[in-house]
Structure 1
Amino acid sequence: MLKQQAKPLTKQVPIDSGFGPRTTAQEVLGNQNLKGKIAIITGGYSGLGLEATRVLAEAGATVIVPARTREKAEAALKDLPNIELETLDLSDPQSINAFTQRFLASSRPLHILINAAGIMAVPLKRDSRGFESHFATNHLGHFQLTAGLWPALKQANGARVISMSSRGHRMSGIDFADPNYHHRDYDKWMAYGQSKTANALFAVELDKRGKADNVRAFAVHPGTIVTDLARHLSDEELKAMGALDERGQRRIMEYNHETKTIPEGAATIVWCAISEQLKGKGGVYCENVDIAEINPVNSPTPGVRPWAMDLKDAERLWTLSEELTGTTFDI
């Protein structure tokens, strides 16, 4: 469901950061020393999340990586410093609560929360509550996780929350009448698109509510990168995207401002997490290491679509998320 009328943020304007689509996460970080900073990165053991984990950890930050598949995470992270491996299943409310309680028991502040884990274009599947899996994992799980960690985010006095969106948000707004596909025909791309719009709207409302406690939120589109996120796509789908070579092997697609390597794709994530250029800012959608433009519904250009920045829908989604998860923020 695409919205034609929306009231988006007026602060959604590029700031000419000096970086660009070929900038890497390491270049964004530069020589910054992050010793004493604590980060949690969901999905931090594969793809873009792993690159963000590596860059932040090697700069001195303590990075906590919660994983559903612990053995896979251990193998990916074994050579990195300053890593704490944890257990978390974003589709399981009890697992989320147990993780947040363990972290809060450590009495540590949380300076950076990067909600990078996600699924894309999977067949119809529901969690134990009956929620559609994209909406449940990509949005509701992170909503509940962030709520549980809120005391530690406030304690940091300058925390940032990064919500991983995607240009996939262009495929769908939020169907508030049936977000979990109980009454409409299931479409895996529309379901993915809805969850990515939800990620962007979550950043809008979280920033509005959190800035009084010096917690700022950002939505990120990292670019198009062929990672493990695409594991559910068929060879035919990958070929249509230009992601298979003539031998049927996955490859980096032709370079442009959209397609990136993993170090380039992680750049906007890291920029939103640590850059002084964004001090005092928040609630915006970022891509190519800058704040993105708002572009019309049918525009062929990059940027964020109005429905993913809609203030009323952001508030409406927040209320719905509280109702569905039984979670409220201590704000």
Structure 2
Amino acid sequence: MTTPQQPIGSGFTRDSTAREVLDGIDLTGRLAVVTGGYSGLGLETTRALVGAGAEVLVPARRVGAAQEALAGLDGVAIGELDLGDQDSITRYADDVLASGRHVDLLLNSAGIMACPETRVGPGWEAQLGTNHLGHYALTQRLWPALRGGARVVSVSSAGHRRSGIRWEDPHFERGYDKWAAYGQAKTANALFALHLDRLGAEHDVRAFSLHPGGIMTPLQRHVPREEQVALGWVDEEGRPANAGFKTPEQGAATQVWAATSPQLDGMGGVYLEDVEVARVVPSDADGPGVREHAADPDQAARLWAWSAEQTGLDAFAA
């Protein structure tokens, strides 16, 4: 069942858009859940899925903002969810389960990046607690609605190159580094999909992780202007300065492809980028590809067990 972590020849490119990868795909009757589906890449993902006929549930921490962003878009239902609050996750998942609907697509797209040191839940570092543990818990809670045929998509990032899992201090209790914390959370997103696919395949649930590409979205809100200039993202006036940035429509393409493409039927557990399966490269390598530390099945199993301890949730526990 293990899918090789190597390109399959998708025929798409880094410039392909979400609507292009959905060309000819009919999602009528399908139900999708898209976290963060009202902002940035999540918003473009919601628009593309609805355009192909899907019904989309959009859990939102800022319900008013979601209503404004999604106004006039049919086939969307907004609910309240704070991924940093385990009780909120339980309430949202219970509402979905109470509907009796099967969830065909779960896109764990929401996230925070390089925020000031913040604690959520029982004192978890916020990026790990929201980006990983929040989505881990949501997936566990929704498992009864996913089992029997679904794809789960975990939006990671090239930021995973910055850090593996810091087993000695995962919640940065001994000094905080916002970029290392982001890197660890994005590695966790990739490892989560790897192990979920291993466990879920026999239930016809397949999982993927991905790097959407560099895109200017509200994700950058915690990075000061001067730091964005130093990183080469924007010029002194705040205008995009990196010719390699994608548009939001291009950035959403890989996660939409992961969730819907028949090219990926029977596959799972792999990391994608530029609408293609990526290659594994050494953790100290430059350039594209998933780093070895984010594609390690032993690390993935260890993270799963640790996440189960942290949240008290494991849908696959005996």
Shorter-chain TM band:
over 0.9
**Do residues 301 (structure 1) and 287 (structure 2) align?**
yes
* 8 Å Cα contact 1:205/1:283 also seen in 2: yes
1:162 matched residue in structure 2: 153
- Give the C-alpha shift of residue 135 in structure 1: 0.5
C-alpha distance in 1 between matches for 2:35 and 2:241: 24
Q: TM-score, normalised by structure 2?
A: 0.97
Q: d(CA) in 2 for partners of 1:301 and 1:75?
A: 38
Provide the residue aligned with 1:128 in structure 2.
121
> After the TM superposition, which segments of 4 or more aligned residues of structure 1 sit over 6 Å from their partners?
none
Distance in structure 1 (CA, Å) of the matches to 2:12 and 2:149:
23
Distance 1:250 1:165 in 2: 25
Residue matched to 1:66: 59
Q: Does 1:326 align with 2:308?
A: no
Q: Does 1:249 align with 2:242?
A: no
The alignment's C-alpha RMSD in Å is: 1.2
Gaps of 5+ in 2: none
Paired letter, 2:239: R
- Quote the Cα distance in structure 2 between the aligned partners of 1:128 and 1:301: 35
How far did residue 270 of structure 1 move? 0.4
One of 302, 305, 308 as aligned partner of 1:316? 302
User: Structure 2: how far apart are the matches of 1:226 and 1:16?
Assistant: 28
Could you state the TM-score of these two structures normalised by the residue count of structure 1?
Answer: 0.93
Correspondence for 1:87: 80
1:151 corresponds to 2:144: yes
The reply on whether 1:21 has 2:14 as its aligned counterpart is: yes
Which residue in the other structure is 1:3 paired with?
Answer: none
Query: CA shift at 1:242, angstroms?
Result: 2.4
Query: Could you tell me which residue of structure 2 aligns to residue 52 of structure 1?
Result: 45
Write the distance in 2 (CA, Å) between the matches of 1:78 and 1:31: 26
Residue of structure 1 equivalent to 2:264? 278
Deviation at 1:143, TM superposition (A): 0.3
> Please, which of 273, 279, 286 is the counterpart of residue 287 of structure 1?
273
Instruction: Give 2:102's aligned residue.
Output: 109
Q: Distance in 2 between matches of 1:86 and 1:10?
A: 35
Overall identity of the aligned pairs, in % = 52
Instruction: Report the AA paired with residue 8 of structure 2.
Output: I
Query: 8 Å contact 1:90–1:142 — kept in the other structure?
Result: yes
User: What is the identity, as a one-letter code, of the residue corresponding to 1:253?
Assistant: N
Distance of 1:240 and 1:118 partners within structure 2:
23
Decide which of 174, 195, 199 is 2:189's aligned counterpart: 199
- For 2:241 and 2:211, the matched residues in 1 are separated by 17
Name the SS of the counterpart of 1:16 in structure 2. coil
**Inter-partner Cα distance in structure 2 for 1:277 and 1:75:** 35
Which amino acid is the alignment partner of residue 148 of structure 1? R
For the 8 Å contact 1:150–1:330, the answer to whether it is kept is no
2:204 and 2:243 map into 1 onto residues whose CA distance is 40
Alpha-carbon distance in structure 1 between the residues aligned to 2:13 and 2:89: 35
CA contact 2:155–2:210 (8 Å) conserved in 1: yes
Task: Tell me by how many angstroms 1:88 deviates.
Answer: 0.3
Distance 1:252 1:104 in 2: 45
Determine the structure 2 residue equivalent to 1:181: 172
Cα offset, 1:185, TM superposition: 1.6
Tell me, in whole angstroms, the C-alpha distance in 2 between the residues paired with 1:147 and 1:245: 42
**8 Å CA contact 2:3, 2:269 repeated in 1:** no
Q: Distance in 1 between matches of 2:87 and 2:5?
A: 36
Structure 1: runs of 5 or more not aligned: 1-8
Query: Once the 2 structures are TM-superposed, how far is the Cα of residue 132 of structure 1 from its aligned partner?
Result: 0.3
2:261 partner amino acid: S
1:10–1:102 Cα change, 3 Å = closer
